[in-house]
A and B are shown apart, each in its own frame.
Chain A
Amino acid sequence: MGKIGTRAGVAALALLSLAVATSAAGCASGKATGGGGGAGAAAGGDGVKTGPGVTATTITVSALTDLTGPYASFGKSQTQAQQLYFDQVNAGGGVCGRRYELVVRDHGYDTQKAVAAYTEVAPKSAAIAQFIGSPMITALKQRIDGDKLLTIPMAWATTLLGSRAIQVTGTTYDVDMINAVEFLTKEKGIKSGDRIGHLYFEGDYGESSLNGSKYAAGKLGLQIVEQKIKATDQDMSAQVAAFKAAGVKAVLVSVGPRQTASLVGVSLAKGMDVPFVGSNSAYAPQLLATPAGPALLKDFYYVSAGTPVSAKNPAMQRLVADYQAKYPGETLDSGVPTGWSAAMIVDEAMRKACEAKDLTREGVLNAHRSQSTFGGDLGTPMNFTFFDKPASRSSYVLKPDKAALGGAVVFREAEVSELAKDYPVPVG
């Protein structure tokens, strides 16, 4: 292209207006709606009002997941579990006379790709059953709220609370950590005046967790020794040295599985034999096969609102059997029940919305927010009627176990600690 000369510029302007005129006259544009904003609800033949993502025959649900980035293993199990869930519902006749269609987009934990994928799928989705990555969801929070698109984030930071459209499942990281601190004082002999370490990631996962541990420590007269690291750090020797020097009696762990393994392994090797309690993202069963395995089996626990796949309840056992039948040989980690229950939350909302004959986004959100007791088989019971507080405050204490499915068993049944009950959750 050449430089735009003045003559050319004038001509360009003339043509520019021409182009606009053509586009108007032609109106081949699928975008031309007449200005209703595109959100106008139309009633279908069955008398059910429909919104974006819902046609006479299908309900489109999207999953914005990570299959190639740092959370690939988690993303994969979740996506497969959700695929399984929707396949089963479709096989059973679907919902509201419609079939589910799951649109999966992999953003590889990249903000720009996630934003692009959201822009693509949002206009044609009735809900987002899975959205991995707090930085990505944070970047889109305003838009999700504006689009009124029911979204289940796969992240549990308090920064995600406070939006009517976003449903954080189970407990938030800070609530988990409060329960963890109380567990340490009740069962691991930690008492007022003691120091406990907290190793956490930069970012909202780590910093939400730290809020919880600081709150609990303040109430119980403990002192937190903080160590912040980045996701790219691999070797925890320096952190262990600092904890050891501070004389910590226990360590809370809000990092990735890799760093957990290094921390626990190095601590034991250096003779710092204390209990470790992790957030639900701090552990992965793959670690048991590594040299850090024995150290993790010794005195490491993690806290989660999700029931482990090894639990002996019928719903879980059925899920495990179905999952293994459909995906033989795949790792059964906590992503499977998490993904499954997120799909179930979306499905329940759709069913309730269908009863009210309103499958618009507003209708789906209303239906969803009307439920005060949800689940219990695959996680602690949740209350969806508010969105400025976590849906649940009760967490399991789990322990790694080599023989168990999913590499973990329940160590202490789910309960709400005294502190977590009255904890004022920071929002946004």
Chain B
Amino acid sequence: MAVFLELLVNGISVGAVYALIALGFVVIFKATEVVNFTHASLLLAGGYVIARLHPLIGFWAALAAGIAAAALVGALVEFLILRRAHVGSRGVLAIVTIGVDILLTTELTRQIGTEVLALGDPWGDRVLRLGPVTVAETRVVALAVAAALIVAFLLAFKFTGWGVAMRATAEDAETAALMGVRLGRVSLSAWAVAGALAAVAAMFLCVFPTPGLDRGTTAAAMKAFPAAILGGLDSTTGALAGGLIVGVTETLMSGYQSELAFLGRGIGDAAPFLVMIVILLLRPSGLFGTKEPARV
């Protein structure tokens, strides 16, 4: 039982980080209906700025700079490329973001080179003991931050002008534009916000239990895909739920891999995708996603 609890708590803690990454996907999808593959390189960009600046200006200032930088990169990608792309469908825009991701990732990994960059966070390798269970402090903070951000987004979507514009665009972009919503601005701000979220996620992704930022960091962004989709691509609550489900599934499957050896060892990586398929079969728009009414 203690093992199960330990794995569960660890799963939730790593799920919090996935939720933060997934939240970035969701914000962009909500505003523009584009699946954003550039998110991986936004993570890398944010993390890189934090890693390079923290010895000079301290961790918190570096974090702020990283958030600003990643937000800027996100906004630039939207403004310079996606806005001007001549394509017919959202699917093609998704492929465009793959191209952008390749460009950014190549340059950033070249800059990072062969180093493993520490982020200089204040939590270090401290752990919190809850009875028999231990969990890294960084992860507790990550969970709190993810929850706080998601509440903030829910409130913002409900009560701010920006949130209303965003929801209106998600509902029906054309009508929203006719009602005076500036689609360009909505989409630009969504990308900037996603960039900022990516930097926050990158920070939690590269601190203890993992050794730091390196060229392999982007791989974790892949795990946020099932997280985002099984929660529902346009639901912020879904991002949190999805992140936690993916984290818990992965951790339990890895932790019990000796007992589950008949499934093949190393099932932890494939398991979140299996869960995703099952959930999508039951609910094609994810757990919290909006159902599209059209049926043909």
Contact = CB atoms under 8 A, between A and B. Distances in A.
Interface stretch (B60-68, B171-179, B212-220): B212-220
Given A233-B269, A258-B211, A291 B14 contact: no
Contact of A262 (B2, B3, B209, B217): B209
A229 B254 contact: yes
Interface string A225-260: 111111111111111011011100000000001100
A241 B7 contact: yes
A408 B141 CA distance: 35
A229 B215 contact: no
B258 A242 contact: yes
B266 interface: yes
Given A233-B269, A237-B10, A290-B211, A242 B254 contact: yes
A73 interface: yes
Interface stretch (A112-120, A267-275, A367-375): A267-275
B114 A286 contact: yes
B211 A239 contact: no
A228 B265 CA distance: 6
A413 interface: no
Nearest to B14: A235
Contacts of A261: 116, 210-211
A72 B252 CA distance: 33
Contacts of A235: 14, 209-210
Interface in A67-83: 68, 70, 72-73, 76
Contact of A238 (B2, B109, B216, B250): B250
Interface stretch (B93-101, B119-127, B146-154): B119-127
Contact of B2 (A73, A202, A245, A331): A245
B210 A262 contact: yes
B13 interface: yes
Among all A-B residue pairs, the 9 with the closest Cβ atoms:
A73-B114, A261-B211, A232-B219, A228-B265, A245-B3, A238-B254, A238-B251, A228-B266, A237-B10
Given A234-B216, A287-B211, 15 more contacts: A68-B109, A231-B216, A234-B210, A234-B219, A237-B136, A238-B7, A242-B254, A258-B116, A258-B210, A258-B211, A262-B211, A270-B134, A290-B212, A291-B212, A292-B125
Nearest to A207: B265
Interface residues of B, number: 47
Nearest to A77: B114
A244 B269 CA distance: 21
A233 B255 CA distance: 13
A244 B265 CA distance: 19
B208 interface: yes
Contacts of A292: 125, 208, 211-212
B254 A291 contact: no
B25 to A, nearest CB: 18
Contacts of A257: 116
Contact of A70 (B125, B136, B215, B220): B215
A197 B165 CA distance: 54
Contacts of A241: 3, 6-7, 10, 251, 255
B222 interface: yes
B256 interface: yes
B227 interface: no
B289 to A, nearest CB: 27
Interface of A: 68, 70, 72-73, 76, 202, 225-239, 241-242, 244-246, 257-258, 261-262, 265-266, 268-271, 284, 286-287, 289-292, 295, 331
B88 interface: no
A227 B265 CA distance: 8
Interface string B207-241: 11111101111011010000000000000000000
A72 B159 CA distance: 50
Contact of A232 (B3, B134, B205, B269): B269
A289 B116 contact: yes
A265 B123 CA distance: 13
Contacts of A244: 6
Contacts of B180: none
Contact of B134 (A246, A271, A290, A295): A271
Contacts of A291: 118, 124-125, 207-208, 211-212
B242 interface: no
Nearest to B115: A286
A291 B116 CA distance: 10
B118 A227 contact: no
Contacts of A233: 268-269
A269 B125 contact: yes
Contacts of B269: 230, 232-233
Nearest to A261: B211
B265 A226 contact: yes
Contacts of A68: 109
A263 to B, nearest CB: 9
Given A265-B211, A287-B211, A291-B118, A234 B258 contact: no
B113 interface: yes
B265 to A, nearest CB: 4
Nearest to B5: A241
Nearest to B6: A241
Contacts of A73: 113-114
Nearest to B223: A232
